[in-house]
Chains A and B, each alone.
Chain A
Amino acid sequence: MIEITNLTKGFGSVKALDNVTCRIDSGCVFGMVGANGAGKSTLLRLLAGVYVPDDGTVTLDGEQIYDNPAAKERIMFSPDTMRLVGAGASLRRMADFYAASYKKFSYEKFTQLSKLFGLDPKMNIRAMSKGMTKQSQTILTLSCGADVILFDETFDGLDPVARNVAKKLLYREVCDNGTTVIVTSHSLRELEDFADQLAMLYKGKIVLQSDVEGLKTRLFKVQLAFEQEHTREDFTQLDLLSFTKNGKVINLIIRSDREQAEAILNGMDPVFMEVLPLSLEEVFTYEMDTLGYKFSEIM
């Protein structure tokens, strides 16, 4: 389990992370979203032990991570841009590099994954396309046998097929080995069907954190129409996040137990009612609104 407690990190006058507290359970996919400069990459570097916290702590199963080989041995960091050991480094050369430091590095897995992605391990990585480079990085990351995998914008640049393969592989890691995957993205849609937990960062703070399923089931949209006129005040029994009316058709965004809400609304005798699921982006938009943030400014 990763515990982040009152974590603060600044660069000069800029506070990249401001008193962040968060807990990430083992064996889950934890997604972090936020705009550029929100603090996602800084948080990942702190989790990877690349940066030292200015204040607060980051621990993995109770152990500090920074300058602690035992903890870092269990973490593999995959930065947004792949770094090489030399200009002409091949995938195989990079595998050797990681194998020199990660005791659990598996060449067998490396070979399997290279075949799966159709990559030649001897190929110069500089000569690869952006997508192939990302695939290479995914192969190396998964071959290290780490308990915690940190991905910074990993899916950016992958084609849909490769993206799905990568996601499936990560799922397998989580399911088979109890690996914790922490992944950042600019796009909520990217993480919608992938992450178990989601956190939204804004100006160095986690402004929202929740499990995805909960978010999506707790918030839903209802489209309905009545013969008589209704106003917002008629729905006070429900936790309404939004009320819009277009002629006779009313659109409600409700945070509530779905069955309970349907029962209340059916009791009002609508001539038409349909419960629609919300996309994760819509869920975030409404949640952020309630927190007083303008979602469009954050993302």
Chain B
Amino acid sequence: MTETKVKAPFISGPYYKEIFREMKTIGIIFCVLQTVVGLLENFGSPILALFIMFTGTGRYQNVMLVYFFVAALNFLNAYIKRSAWDLRGSLPLKKRTVFASHLAAALTWAALIFIANYVGMLFGELLRLIPGVNAASVPAGYIGAGAALLQQAMLGLIVYGVITMLGSVVNKAFSLLIAGAVIVLVPVLYFGFAQGMSTSTFSIIEHLLPIGLKARTAVLTVLTELAAAAAIVLAYIAFSRSQAETHNKPARTKAIHIAIGVGLAALVGLFVMRSVGAISSVSVQSIAQGSSDSTGTVLLGAIIALVLMLISYMVYMWVSLKSFKKACKNLVFLPIAIVLIASALLFTGFADRQFEKLDASVNNMDHVVIPSGEYSDGIVDIASNMLFGGSSVRRGSDGSERVKLTDAGLLREAAGLLSTKLAGSEFGTGLAMIDELLFGAIYGNTRNVDIALKNGGTWTVNISDYEFREKLVPYVNDNADYVARYTDMKRFRGGSVVGTDGLDRRFAKTLIAELESLSPADRLEVFTDSTSYSLLDPYVDLGTVSDSLAILTLASPTYDHVTPVRLTEKLPKTRLMYMQQLSENARKARGFDEFTEKLKAADYRDFYGNLILIGGGSVNEYNFSYWPNDRDYEGSYLSYQKRISAMLADIITENRPIEGAEYVVGVAINDFSIDGLKDSSYGRSLIHDKTVFMGVSRETYEELMELFAYEMDGGDPIDGGSEWM
């Protein structure tokens, strides 16, 4: 039949509105979900931390991705089913208008979901203003969250495009499922097989794009966008040409049907060959070298793969065509699957050859770039905060990651790191890889370093945080240009200090002003991430923070840039404000006066806390735990505890101002319980986790230093009890 050329709008306004309305339930559900996600991005949540642990993904913006999946199913339900097409197919609309209108409606809801995320984030920000609300984590950056959502939307469009395209060309649910599995899994297994057969310790993707982490990420982002556009265009064409009445055939055309069968066979073959390669560590190189073990394994694997490919292909053809005879006739196409599998080895060969050419000698090192990780992605902070009580620490800035570091010492270290990588990175294999996958994002204990070679390519090496700090940081910090860019304050202007109870913008302003008055080198000292290891690694004792009172997180106005700032003596005004605010919060807390009285009389059961002694240019912090009424202990020790209690109570009651004081004492109350009333009269919302600072005389300061230093050095107050009496 010759088709009449008819002019029709690309999108039908009324039909777009109709579909928007039809998708209302789906849209509202996902808007609510995304609002909750946006809200939670402001707070620590064990659920989210667990989610990130078990999914291994760095983000939890997948609501958007799932939305597009559901929107695609909604499309299939509306148009692909023959019964549904009676309703839609008779409407006075061209198919292409139907597709475009549905897509436009789906995208409108996606835009609303995008906005819902920000509504949640803003609402979360309002909640964070309420004193006492746990807001210790860094919220996701506003721009970063938007970028993440857009990236998820791109992936979502690929999913939407693939599903609607398959639905338009594949008619039977059975074939649709197989086709879906083929499209999703064949590329993964194809490159997985190519990777598995390679001896390179770099990924195939990196061999294809040896341009450094940032550039590669950008290229892959663009490729994702192109793939999304291609998927939508293909789906548009496929749907425009689809026919409701081909429901009795497995696919619209024979070629598509054969492609599904071949894809299934390839999927099975790739899976078997990939598994054989992974189990026996066979590589193209070992086969080429004539290893009899390798050849035997490969032969056995190939035979098993061929048999399973044949079976899967025949079963699919037989079931879909309902005729064994017709299935047999289609066997001639099976070799395409074998050719497809074999072609993966081309990538292996390419990667291996490039890998062999990699020269890790110092002379071949051109420069090093430290990719910035400063963009806040929320979840990492939430997870680390929830699980380990620390804030994620990043290094670098947009500016610093453009600095090409060429210090000779640094290049020497880079050559060493690359050599290690070429020999087989500990992070690339076995359990270490699983550990890294599961926990790397949370601990933040690995970093990427881009090493540019003179003979071509910029290669990304993943190293431990410890290696980074020990081997590279000293050189990096000597680079004035790097330090100046790294500590550039422009991005933090108008920003805030995250998650510090009761400290308002005034505090952030003071901090930013003080930071701006410092030299880049001094700023680097307070910006530095040298404490990050102890804060983030759960296996390392948190210990004492030797020269800083606290680590604050300074964030840009949109939270997209964050940096830890150590509250050292280089920031006196901020430090004073911080101590005053904390003290004010503690003294305002209900039960504080009663706490002081009980402390004075040593009328309590347990007191766990920290003593912070500031004076003489240093900060010392001691953990303590007292139980002055526990008769299981010797009287001398209990008397000592009572004396300390009374002493601390006196200091707290006297409450000398800290402004202008040469010596300052801080008492952090972690847990204070009265006998029989544990955690009731002094619940966590009252005085627990409160810290109070007071000025003290030099004598008091020294006495406390002596007492606590003795205790911390291992002095046993029971043995040496007489000293305290």
A residues with a Cβ closer than 8 A to B are: 9, 11-12, 45, 48-57, 63-64, 66-73, 75-77, 79, 81, 83-86, 96-97, 99-102
Does B18 have its Cβ within 8 Å of any Cβ on chain A? yes
- The answer for the CA separation of A75 and B89 in the assembled complex, in Å, is 12
Q: Which of A53, A67, A77 contacts B6 (CB 8 A)?
A: A67
19 contacts between A and B (CB under 8 A): A11-B245, A12-B248, A49-B89, A50-B90, A50-B245, A51-B243, A52-B245, A63-B4, A64-B4, A67-B3, A68-B4, A68-B94, A69-B97, A72-B90, A72-B92, A81-B83, A85-B22, A101-B92, A102-B92
- The answer for the CA separation of A11 and B244 in the assembled complex, in Å, is 11
Q: Which of B2, B17, B84, B244 contacts A51 (CB 8 A)?
A: B244
- The answer for the CA separation of A57 and B6 in the assembled complex, in Å, is 16
- The answer for the CA separation of A107 and B4 in the assembled complex, in Å, is 32
Q: How far is the CB of A134 from chain B (nearest CB, A)?
A: 15
- Chain B residues whose CB sits within 8 angstroms of the CB of A81 once the complex forms: 83, 86
- The answer for the CA separation of A81 and B82 in the assembled complex, in Å, is 12
- The answer for the CA separation of A78 and B565 in the assembled complex, in Å, is 71
Q: How far is the CB of A195 from chain B (nearest CB, A)?
A: 22
Q: How far is the CB of A288 from chain B (nearest CB, A)?
A: 29
Chain B residue nearest in CB terms to A46: B245
- The answer for the CA separation of A195 and B85 in the assembled complex, in Å, is 28
Interface contact B83-A83, CB-CB below 8 Å:
yes
Q: How far is the CB of A298 from chain B (nearest CB, A)?
A: 24
Does B218 have its Cβ within 8 Å of any Cβ on chain A? no
- Chain A residues whose CB sits within 8 angstroms of the CB of B90 once the complex forms: 45, 48-50, 72, 75-77
- Chain B residues whose CB sits within 8 angstroms of the CB of A83 once the complex forms: 83-84, 86-87
Query: Can you add 14 more A-B contacts, CB < 8 Å, to A68-B6, A68-B94?
Result: A45-B89, A45-B90, A50-B86, A51-B243, A51-B244, A69-B93, A72-B93, A83-B86, A84-B87, A100-B12, A100-B15, A100-B18, A101-B12, A101-B18
Interface contact B95-A67, CB-CB below 8 Å:
yes
Q: Top 10 closest A-B pairs, CB basis?
A: A83-B87, A73-B92, A72-B92, A100-B18, A77-B90, A50-B89, A64-B4, A100-B14, A48-B90, A69-B92
Q: How far is the CB of A246 from chain B (nearest CB, A)?
A: 51
- The answer for the CA separation of A297 and B208 in the assembled complex, in Å, is 70
- The answer for the CA separation of A99 and B13 in the assembled complex, in Å, is 12
Q: Which of B2, B17, B244 contacts A50 (CB 8 A)?
A: B244
Chain B residue nearest in CB terms to A59: B4
- The answer for the CA separation of A11 and B15 in the assembled complex, in Å, is 30
Interface contact B87-A69, CB-CB below 8 Å:
no
- The answer for the CA separation of A83 and B86 in the assembled complex, in Å, is 7
Q: Which of A56, A85, A86, A99 contacts B1 (CB 8 A)?
A: A56
Interface contact A69-B6, CB-CB below 8 Å:
yes
Chain A residue nearest in CB terms to B87: A83
- The answer for the CA separation of A49 and B6 in the assembled complex, in Å, is 14
Interface contact B249-A12, CB-CB below 8 Å:
yes
Interface residues in B51-86 (C-beta closer than 8 Å to A): 83-86
- The answer for the CA separation of A81 and B83 in the assembled complex, in Å, is 9
Q: How far is the CB of B485 from chain A (nearest CB, A)?
A: 56
- Chain B residues whose CB sits within 8 angstroms of the CB of A45 once the complex forms: 86, 89-90, 245
Does B91 have its Cβ within 8 Å of any Cβ on chain A? yes
**Per-residue CB proximity of B82-116 to A under 8 Å, as 1/0?**
01111101111111010000000000000000000
Given A66-B3, A72-B91, A79:B86 Cβ within 8 A = yes
Q: Which of B1, B2, B21, B85 has the most CB of A within 10 A?
A: B1
- The answer for the CA separation of A48 and B92 in the assembled complex, in Å, is 9
- The answer for the CA separation of A35 and B340 in the assembled complex, in Å, is 51
Does B126 have its Cβ within 8 Å of any Cβ on chain A? no
- Chain A residues whose CB sits within 8 angstroms of the CB of B15 once the complex forms: 100-101
Does B8 have its Cβ within 8 Å of any Cβ on chain A? yes
Q: Which of A9, A73, A76, A77 contacts B245 (CB 8 A)?
A: A9
